[in-house]
Amino acid sequence: MVEYDFSGKVAFVTGAAHGQGRSHAQHYAKHGADVVVTDIGENMETVPYDLGTTAELDETVGLIEDEGQDALAIQMDVRDETQVEAAVDEALDEFGRIDILANNAGIAHFCDLVEMDEAMWDEMLDTNLKGVWLASKHVGKHFIDRGDGGKIVSTSSIYGKVAGPGSGHYIAAKHGVLGLTKTLALELAEYDVNVNAVCPTGVDTPMITGVTEAYGSEALEAATDMTGPWNIFGDGGMIESRDISEAYMWLSSDAARYVTGIGLPVDAGMLAK
């Protein structure tokens, strides 16, 4: 593991109850940061699997504290601006600053666009795109007010760069994250804020497990039927959360000080196909 130094810094991680968000929070703590972890703590109407719970969020806090760092858990729905603003204020009251925003919260489900109802579209776009904007807006205001830089890293997807059947709302949101990232990079550059995104291939997380259990393995096969297996390394299966966390660490560090406005694929070569 590369050694980054986030000593004295505070990371704010959304969707941190389990999966990639928990991994990112742990990695920030391993490298010396105190961490604010947030999650919705309840299920959504259109999502056919269980989302992160407050108990899991508390477990993430314990993992951060095991690394010798301070942690703050906040139940927060990224779709609700009042909750996002309050969570950012609570984090600032607790730690005095935020240095890194990790926009990880997201959901997934499958439906052809011509069959999709409005609620499914709205929950997807509100969570996977609007939520990134709201967190970036309120942490970004803090970065501007403080005036000494910051980092925003958001999770897009390989499906932020290509299309696939059965998940047009997800693909639209993830393409939107890349457009949002590029625009924020331009708007916040004068404040020395780097804004980037990570574009993972399939990652072995509770979200993927939940989608597979809800729809059957055929759903994932349909989503990749134009490209074959997920990636060109190994057996073509999923990669691990830590692989995405390492990209987050680099983009959050001074090693990437001149990197901004990009969508970094961590795709095991999938896009090369």
Query: Which pLDDT belongs to residue 227?
Result: 41
Query: Which pLDDT belongs to residue 207?
Result: 85
Q: Six-digit token pair at 163?
A: 């299309």
* 170 belongs to the catalytic site: yes
Beta strands in 68-190 (DSSP E): 71-75, 100-103, 150-155
Q: Digits of tens for pLDDT over the chain (273 positions)?
A: 678 999 999 999 999 999 999 999 999 999 999 999 999 999 999 999 999 999 999 999 999 999 999 999 999 999 999 999 999 999 999 999 999 999 999 999 999 999 999 999 999 999 999 999 999 999 999 999 999 999 999 999 999 999 988 999 999 999 999 999 999 999 999 999 999 999 999 888 888 778 778 877 666 666 555 444 556 776 667 889 999 999 999 999 999 999 999 999 999 888 887
Cα distance between residue 15 and residue 20, in whole Å? 8
Query: Which pLDDT belongs to residue 226?
Result: 41
Nearest to 199 by CA among 256, 154, 136: 154
Architecture field, domain 10-264 = 3-Layer(aba) Sandwich (3.40)
Would you say 38 and 64 are in contact if contact means Cβ atoms under 8 Å apart? no
Annotated catalytic residue: which of 28, 49, 159, 170? Answer: 170
Cα distance between residue 16 and residue 38, in whole Å? 6
Residue 223 host element (H or E): helix 217-223
3-class DSSP assignment, residue 173 = helix
pTM equals 0.94
